[in-house]
Structures are given as C-alpha cells and as structure tokens.
Structure 1
Amino acid sequence: MQAPPGPAAAAPKTRPRAGMVWIPAQQFLMGSGDPDGFPDDGEGPPRLVTVDGFHIAATTVTNRQFSDFVRDTRYVTDAELLGASFVFQGQLGAGANAWASPRGLPWWRIVEGASWQRPEGPGSHIHERPEHPVVHISWFDAQAYCAWSGQRLPTEAEWECAARGGLHSKRYPWGDAPPQDGRTRCNIWQGAFPDRPAPGWTPGPLSARSFEPNAYGLYNMAGNVWEWCADAFTPHYHRLTAAHNPAFLRDSGRRSMRGGSFLCHASYCNRYRVGARNGNTPDSAAANSGFRVAR
C-alpha cells in the first residue's frame, strides 16, 4: 500500500524535550550472528563501532505528544490521507470495514478509517490511551514530528547502542533470559501465533512506560511497537557503513525499523532481539508502527 507524504509541518512553537536520556559516547559490539536471525535482514556480521554521545527519549512518542503536534500544525498523516491503514485481524471489532488481506500477510486487514486517532478504525479512539505509543505512523510522519519538535530519529547504531543498555553482546535489553521465563519483560505475542492469543492477553500496544526500563532508563526497547530509525534499509548495512557513527543514508526505497512489536513471536518474527532489524517503505503505516526521538 502506497501513500504520498503528508504536508510539511510548521516550525516549532515549543520543543517537547522532557524525558530524554543521555547516552555517553562509547564503543560497542553492534549486530548479531544469532542463529535465530534472518539472513535477508543483514543482522551481521557483528563488529565494533563507536558512537558519539547523544540524547534519546525514554519512551516512544505517545498519543498525547503527537496530539500536541497535530493541534499545533494541523498535520495530516499518510494513513489519514490514504483513508486506510493496516490493522491486525485480532484487534478488529465486529462491523469493521476491512478490505482483503495483503498478499502474504493473512493476519493483516486494510481497514478504512484506521489512523493514529482511530487505531482499530472507526469506533475506536485514543481518548483513554494518552500515554500509549502513537501508531499508524509512517517514516514521513515521524520526520514531520521531528522537524516540529527540533529533534530527529536515532540512527540504527544509536538505537542499538541505547537498547543494549551497556550490556555486552546480550540478546535482549535486559540480558539473555527469555522474555517470559516466569516473568513478563516485554509486550510480544503470547499464545500461538497468529490466531490463538493466550488467555488474559489482548493483541495491541501497551502504555509507553510498561515493564522495567533497561539500564539506561529506556522503556520497551523490545516489543510493543516497531520504531523507525533515520537510516535507509539495506541488508548490507554492516558492510557498507563506517565504524564511527555508522549510518546508511543512500536511498534504497525502504527505511529501517527496530525493536519488534506486540505481534512478534519466537515461532514467526523474533525481531525483538536488540541486534535484529527490519525495514519498510517510508510511506507505510500500521497498528504496530511508531517511533522515538533523539537529539
């Protein structure tokens, strides 16, 4: 599904920078040689890289924060311009106006009227979810918010450095322990994917401050919603980027995403590992796509 970019955002009147965390300059082992990884994603080979110090938000941008942006600029997102967006089938209520599933993605529905304000389509709303991650956000939408707020998207290297929380070569932001080894550490799929969620668990994002933060104080660096990064996506990232402040900015038709979402599961999409990566076209939006900011 293709959509044109939304209109340019107005210059910022305010710069909402509360909740930023300082990540010190450091060298770390980036990437993954995990046998559970996906060769086509280009997770590795792992290598030492150096990043300069930067700030990154403790949480993804919330509905409340994005509402402030839209109220100030009257920005219209790509999903709103298109009139529809992707929603997971298990999130839909009766009577939703859903189009046919996209080819190869039988658990998704294209829902007329779904957008950041109506995450599951008409009849749903964000009024009781102000601190949830804003979703149905394209890369272009995220860039518009950044321009308004005087911030930017993190690079993949910055994102991974921050997600690791100072831990060396661990699978997850908290270490190597599985996400659900007697305690729940992140919002990923519970049950049998894609049609048998575990009793008591409902598919969808949780509050942006759910679960314990990592050692840097960052929330939900695994699961919940996918997070856009500044880089263009290439499976050859680790072979094409520098060892100091790596970034791949050559247009590839896709943009990088990190962190996985509530739809990730070990049996299907275990990209909630810190070294995992994915990409999508920059005009794409869905019920599990959001972003966090850096500066």
Structure 2
Amino acid sequence: MSGKVILSTVALVSAIGVLIFAVAAPTDSGVDPTVPVAESDPENPNNGSTGSSKSSDVIVDEPHPTPKGMVWIPGGSFVMGNDESKQQDEKPAHEVTVDGFWMDETEVTNAQFLEFTEATGYITVAERKPKREEFAGLIDDISKIPEENLVPGSICFNPNFDRKMVEQAKKESPNWPYHIWQYRQGANWRMPDGPDSTLEGRLDHPVVHVSWTDAVEYCKWAGKRLPTEAEWEKASRGGAKRDTYPWGNEQMPDGKWMQNIWQGEFPYDNKLLDGFEATAPVKSFPPNKFGLYDMSGNVWEWCFDFYRPDYYEHSPSRDPFGPAESFDPQEPGIPKRVQRGGSFMCSSNYCIGYRCSSRMKGEPVAGSFHCGFRCVLTPEEYKLAAK
C-alpha cells in the first residue's frame, strides 16, 4: 500500500457512494452558528432557531465603525441559487433575507494564519499524524493500514496524472477528479507544495491546506466565525440580486480577467491568462461593490453550513444556517461542509465554481491545496466579544 492510502480509501468509498442515492429530507433547520464560537462546541451545538424568534426588522445600516480589515454587508433580501444552472444543488432559486454583518475583505492570508499559530501554538490537521481510528467505517480492517503510511500530509494536484486513465474515469464516475489529486506527504499550510516548499513570497496569499475545523479555531481566536452559506452568497453578489459573477453577468468585462481561475481545458492545459498558476496574492483583482476581494476564484472558502444538495427545497427564508446534518449522495457516509467561490483549479469545462450561486463541499477534517476561508461578524456578536 502506497503513501496515497488515505486518498485511495476515500476514492473507494466514493465509488460505492455513487450507487447509493437516497436523499432524505432534512427534519429540522440546523444549528445556529452564533459566536463567539469558543462559547459552544462547533461540532455539537444545540439545535437553534433560524430567525423565527428574531425581530422582523432587518439590520441594514452599519451600527458603528467597521472592524479593521472587514467591510459592512447591509442586510436585505436577494435571490439565492440559480434555476438555470446545470447543477441541481443550486435549485430552486429562492428569496432569502439576511441581517447585516461584517465580512473580511480578503481571504485569511498566510501572514494572518501565522500570527494565529504563533499566538496559540495551534497545529493544523495536515501537520498531525493521522490515526487509524479516523478511517473506521471507511475500510473494513483499519489494522491493515501500514504504520509507515500514517504520515502527515494533505491533498495536492498531481501534474503527472495518467491522461488515458483520467479519460476512462470521466466516462465511468463523477468522482474522476480523484485521479488528478494526490495525498502528498509533508504538504501543509507552511509547505503548500510539499516538504521542499515554503511560504517565502506567499505571506499575502490565502492560507490553504486548512480544514473546516482549523478554520473554526482561527475564528475563535479572532473573535469571529465562518459565514453561513446565505451570508456568503449575499456578500458575493455585491448588492445585485441575480448576477452571475460578483461584478456582473459578463465574465470578462472590457476583455479583462476578474478572477484567478484555470484558463484552458482542465486538467490538461492551463494557459495562465490571468497571470497565476496557483494561488494569487489577495487583492490581485478588483473588489465587488461591497469592497470584497476574490469572491470568485483564487481558493474555495469554507462556510459554516453542513452540505445537502436538497437543502434549498426546505431552507427557511430568514437567516438560514444550513441543515441539521450533512448528506452527499456521491459519498453518503462522509459528512461534508459547504465551500464557496471556486478556485484557481476551476474552469469552464470542469466545475465552473466561480459563479455566485456555485456550491461545493468538503470533509470538515480535511484541507486541500486550493481551499481557504474568510470570517464574518454581526453587530450582536461584536458586542458579545467586547464584553
């Protein structure tokens, strides 16, 4: 068994999961993401209201000066989802109302995450040695995993993938991308490309190889939290109700690239027309009308919500924060959290994840080379944190 045992295990489970498609409607509206997160267990919070107990008045105006590095997102209604999308989990489009909140103007950078780890001594999931128990339920006999394969690492792009194998996999399974990823020993946020890489020249790039749980720990330290999926989409749209991109409906206004994505046929040919092969420094492209950078492309961003493809059929219209539990029909036994915004790996012939309505999901205990996060804060949470 090779050092890719972890990724291979997940790929096997995924292949089985495709054959088991039984979506059960969520029975309740989920759990409240209210912060400070440190005051509750983010893995086991109490069931909460989605807004029925709130005042009917929507918080629109900014109540006091903006916290450093954040921008105000005024409360209001917008159309969440996209009925014209080929992705079924973006349907139905529905009107949602959220209260106003602050959001980080950029994705959390390596410099900011470094400050967090130096202040707390925190060690990310990718830096820790995996335990056999973490694979219970994924494979029949966890004792068969060789000790030498239980090594720290994370998911990276495999530039040496077998093209014929990928072409065949595309015909057989929606999980064909597993053939172009690899579990790279030693890859983590400090060494994004593996043991021979560093953060030199990347301190202003978004931090990657951070799991959902890593992101939550950063949020605790910063006195903030992860955005709900509804908050994220509201912020991404920049005040527009139905635009495709954070800046409008035209992907390249005036012939200019507005986001860091894959240009060319994925995964074979990246023409690098936007000037970047991997992550780009934050603020490399113009912000949307709210003043938010990189809400399209660069890296995927973790959201608070559990993922379900059918959640929009049951979602409340006021401040929704996701279903009570996750269900991914492609990998039914593996819990997932929502990711938004697309990344430098998204292309027009692949995930098209850089649209405002696009949804993705990931295991909360796993990071990757193209996923990061940003934080939010409401006025009420600001007051609680100040006490």
Same fold (TM over 0.5): yes
Unmatched 5+ residue regions in structure 2? 1-5, 8-36, 40-66, 131-151, 162-174, 327-334, 378-387
Q: Give 1:86 shift.
A: 0.8
Partner of 2:178: 105
Question: Which residue of 2 is the match for residue 121 of structure 1?
Answer: 194
Any idea what SS the aligned residue of 1:192 has? coil
* Alignment size in residue pairs: 272
| Structure 1 CA distance for aligned equivalents of residues 160 and 221 of structure 2 | 31
- 1:77-135: CA deviations, max 9, x gaps? 1111141111112499xxxxxxxxx9752221211100000000011111211110000
* 1:32 counterpart residue number: 82
The answer to whether the 8 A contact 1:24-1:52 is kept is: yes
Larger strand percent: 1
Q: In structure 1, what residue type is equivalent to 2:312?
A: H
| Residue in 2 that maps onto 1:97 | none
Letter in 2 for 1:218: L
- Give me the CA root mean square deviation: 2.2
Would the aligned equivalents of 1:10 and 1:73 in 2 still touch at CA under 8 Å? Answer: no
Aligned to 2:359: 277
Of the three residues 85, 110, 127, the one matched with 1:63 is 110
Q: Whole-Å Cα distance in 2 between the matches of residues 46 and 195 of structure 1?
A: 33
8 Å contact kept, 1:226–1:290: yes
Q: Is the 8 A contact 1:240 1:248 kept in 2?
A: no
Contact 2:251/2:257, CA 8 A, preserved across alignment:
no
The 8 Å contact of residues 257 and 277 in structure 1, kept in 2 or not, is answered as yes
Rounded Cα–Cα distance in structure 1 between residues aligned with 2:107 and 2:179: 28
Give the 3-state SS of the residue equivalent to 2:255 in structure 1: coil
| Counterpart for residue 22 of structure 1 | 72
TM-score (norm 2): 0.67
Cα displacement (A) at 1:233: 0.5
CA distances 1:234-280 after superposition (whole Å, capped 9, x unpaired)? 11121222100011141211100000100000101101110111111
**1: CA distance between counterparts of 2:230 and 2:123?**
30
TM-score, normalised to structure 1, is 0.87
- In structure 2, the residue matched to 1:256 is 338
Q: Structure 1 134/176 Cα, relative in aligned 2: closer, same or farther at 3 Å?
A: same
CA contact 2:107–2:373 (8 Å) conserved in 1: yes
Match 1:182 to one of 255, 261, 269: 255
Judging by fraction of residues, say which structure has more helix: 2
SS state of the match for residue 102, structure 2?
Answer: strand
In the alignment, is residue 87 of structure 1 matched against residue 156 of structure 2?
yes
User: 1:294 matched to which residue of 2?
Assistant: 376
Deviations 1:192-237 (A, max 9, x none): 2112221665531101111000000000001100000000001112
The structure with the larger Rg is 2
Q: For the residues of structure 1 that align with 2:254 and 2:305, how far apart are their CA atoms?
A: 33
Q: 1:46 to 1:185 in 2, by over 3 A?
A: same
